Structure 1
Amino acid sequence: MPVAPPVVPPRVAVLAVDLGSRLLDEAGAARRTREAARALSGAGLLLKTVDSTLRGHVAAELHAAREGSGRRAVVIAPAFPAEGRTTLEGVQYVRGVRVDESEFARDPAHPVRTADLARLLPDAVPVAPGRTGLLPELLARGGLFACSAATDADLDRIVAAVPDHRAVLWVGSPGLAAALARHHALPGSAGPAGELPLARRPLTVVGSANPATRRQLALLAAEPGAVCADTAGAVGTAARLLAADAPVRILHTPHERRPGPAGSTRLLAASVAELAGRAPFDGLVLTGGETAEAVLRALGAHGIDLHDEPEPGVARGTLTGPAGVPRGTLTGPAGVPRVPVVVKAGGFGDERALLRLHALLTGHPARARGGRGGGHASR
């Protein structure tokens, strides 16, 4: 299904576009990626994101992005060391386990098929961490270059070795994005301005079927006074349940999931939109990328005005768009929307991740004690 090309808003230094391509077949994903890359080909720095466990139509989208962008050379580095995703001798691992032998290989919706970049991208030239100094010469010839990396320092060396970041298409996960941000800081990007409002009645929305997220959900649901509902029943039933004045309110898809999650995700998003009217919330924790996209659309939000990255791979900001504010939620001066939102990918974080993110919205650090230490801001 064709989509309109992304439009770059004025005075936006960094733009992220969610193409939703993982929900499409390979041909559709490639077509949508090609159109977006063509529309954004004039960007000074162009990054095609891929899943750090190599799920989705990685090869087809990479080739389509290269064609659309018109860039001859492609630097590929899918490692995300902060979340335990490393590339060793061209093979992708998650916390020391090949991704095609990990729980991601059993993902009910998007199982990873191979951990081997040489098999996934047979036309790519492998680049070991000790050979990044050869990148300038290799890039001048054009082609695809698959870089191994086990640490953030490895990623920093890859970025630093490329003489002209405008001449290549970058392909990677949040690990590479962070390295690019460190190396190519924008003027005036010292950090987020001001503080986000605290939420009094936040809603945690869980659509990911990843086992890590389900363990995080179980801990949050076990909090004293927590109220939890799933989308197996009627939306109105969930609304009545979650209308309670509870310190923790959770809406999630059923634990038993089958392949083809689009219907479950749409129902979850519709339920959130219904709750916005029946049981208003003033903050959101969204887990699962497809869930976040579907919920934002259902609420009429245009996107997220990013504030910071409190944990690796976790984005925090406020909803944007005139219709992107659920009824009864917080607003800033002159009615400017100030609805805080935190988005976490399904497989990210330890078992206490949702506890910490809920505490981040509400300002109740006691709920998150025992978790990961201080976060860091993204540029």
Structure 2
Amino acid sequence: MIGVIADDVTGATDVAVAFRRTGMRCGVYFGTPAPSAVDVGLDVVVIALKSRTIAADDAVAQSLGAAHTLRALGAQQLYFKYCSTFDSTENGNIGPVLDALVELVQTDVVVTTPASPEHGRTTFNGYLFVNSVLLSESSMRNHPLTPMRDSALTRLMDAQAEGGSAVVGHDVVTRGPAAIRREVEAARGRKRYLFPDAATDADLLVIAQAVRGEPLVAGAAGLAGAIGRARGAAPTSRTREDSAPKGRAAVLAGSCSRRTLEQIDQVLRAERPAHRLNALQSDDPEYLAQEALDWYDALPPGPAPLIYSSLPPQLLHEVQEKLGVERSAQILEAAIGRVAEGLRDRGVTRFVAAGGETSGSVVAALGIRGGIVGVEAARGVPWIHTDQDLDVLLKSGNFGDPDLLLSASEGSA
């Protein structure tokens, strides 16, 4: 069994479905579960934390707790999942968490890559590219929480981790798994983290073959999927997990990414019922949530509605300037959580959530502990079937085609 520690909720679903595509049965658990709560028939257990931007010490403590549980469940390889844009600050949390995991499993070299070519993330000469543009020149440059102003993976890692890092060049990767393993052996005692170049899925497969026996690997969903392919997993028989769920649906969106804004625009163009949570109208989450639920109660039977707090950059800046970045986020996340509770109480069983923080708020508010990963509504965006008769789709802000929110919520409200 492979045990995965993911630093946010949507990253957890992304990595889980990457394994699932290769025929491995995957479960996602939100927060560290009791071992008795985990399905014993799983090939991959993913523990979703919200540790990407919290204090480094807290991130380390949560990640170590998850690692201990996964090892107790029998995980023979740990995989630390971080974002394919290496979202972090100079203080962490990728480096501190990996340093702690290195000590736990008592290894001395970790192979890691954020490359995920299918999502436009590639690495070459140790630099990370986003859709063929350097990370530092992409939209991540101005991310409100983790602005990425450097594209050199070794500089980013060395600023926050111990032991030093080095690049494994593309010329080595193309020579095959044995060549990468020789680099690993040569690095022992000199460098702790190795970043092999990966421009294609074929490169990732070579890397995955090279790390098959390693106790700890790290990266984005791209390498995870390659590890599944390297294990030669066969497709499983068709089950309920292979069908899109039915039931009353609602869309909850909080991401302000360009793609989510496009998806919201498609919902509005389709004249679906929509209500915006406006933190400038009130800074009381309870008031905002109740206003949204009163609006929902007045809707006639029809298509699934959208309740959202997402804003384009200029309007987002106005809100953050008046309320503060952290305060405005807290207000809207709390409101979204209360809305999710209210919708569940009104009979909604299918929740489409857009944005990592939004997804975390929805999962927490609904008390969802975990579920089995099902069919994808879009690449990297699977349905999760929970044991509470609820189905959730947790979408990373930048994922999915423009019509995803529409198509995933088809059916009556």
Aligned with 2:343 (options 272, 275, 288): 275
What's 2:333 paired with?
A: 265
User: Could you report, residue by residue, the CA deviation over 1:171-220 in whole angstroms, capped at 9, with x for unpaired residues?
Assistant: 11111111111122446x42651353643531111122222212211212
Q: Could you tell me how far apart the structure 1 residues matched to 2:401 and 2:41 are?
A: 36
Q: 1:251-289 CA distances to partner (integer Å, 9 max, x unpaired)?
A: 222522533234422321122112222x43131111222
Q: How does 1:247-258 map to 2 (within 5 A)?
A: 247-255=303-311, 256=316, 258=320
1:67-216 map, 5 Å: 67-122=103-158, 123-132=164-173, 133=176, 134-140=179-185, 142=188, 143-162=192-211, 165-186=212-233, 189-190=235-236, 192-194=238-240, 195-196=242-243, 198-216=245-263
CA distance in 2, matches of 1:152, 1:92: 15
The answer on whether the counterparts of 2:272 and 2:306 sit within 8 Å (CA) in structure 1 is no
Q: Confirm or deny: 8 A CA contact 2:32 2:47 kept in the other structure.
A: no
Report if aligned partners of 1:92, 1:98 keep a CA contact under 8 Å in 2: yes
Aligned residue runs from structure 1 range 10-89, under 5 A: 10-41=40-71, 43-56=75-88, 57-89=93-125
1:192/1:307 contact within 8 Å kept: no
Relative distance call for 1:151 and 1:224 in structure 2 (3 A) is same
SS where residue 252 of structure 2 aligns?
strand
CA distance in 1, matches of 2:143, 2:216: 29
After superposition, the Cα gap between the structure-2 partners of 1:31 and 1:317, relative to the gap in structure 1 and judged at 3 Å, is: closer
| Aligned equivalent of 1:291 | 358
Residue type of the partner of 1:49?
K
Matched residue, 2:290 = 236
Residue 47 of structure 2 aligns to a residue whose secondary structure is: coil
- The answer to whether the 8 A contact 1:83-1:349 is kept is no
SS at match of 1:16: strand
After TM superposition, the structure 1 stretch with the greater mean CA deviation from structure 2, 29-38 or 211-220, is 29-38
- Which secondary structure does the structure 2 equivalent of 1:167 belong to? coil
Task: Kindly state the Cα deviation for residue 101 of structure 1 after the two structures are TM-superposed.
Answer: 1.9
Q: 1:47: how far off?
A: 0.8
Distance in 1 between the 2:342 and 2:143 partners?
29
The answer (yes or no) to whether the contact 1:54–1:115 under 8 Å persists in 2 is no
Q: Which residue pairs with 2:8 in the alignment?
A: none
CA pair 94-355 structure 1, distance change in 2 beyond 3 A: farther
Alignment TM-score, normalising by the size of structure 2: 0.75
* Equivalent residue letter for 2:171: G
1:44 offset after TM fit, Å? 1.7
Contact kept? 1:217, 1:354, Cα under 8 Å: yes
The count of aligned residue pairs is: 339
Cα drift, residue 52 of structure 1: 0.5
Task: Measure, in 2, the Cα distance between the counterparts of 1:228 and 1:209.
Answer: 16
Distance 1:6-1:304 versus aligned 2 partners, 3 A rule? closer
* Aligned CA distance change for structure 1 residues 306 and 127 (closer, same or farther; 3 Å): same
- The 3-state SS of whatever aligns with 1:43 is coil
Q: Which residue of 1 aligns with 2:269?
A: 222
CA RMSD between the two structures: 2.5
8 A Cα contact 2:76 2:215, kept in partner: no
302-311 or 173-182, which deviates more? 302-311
Matches within 5 A, 1:340-379: 340-359=391-410, 362=411
Q: Which has the higher contact order (CA 8 A, sep 6+)?
A: 2
Q: TM-score, normalised by structure 1?
A: 0.81
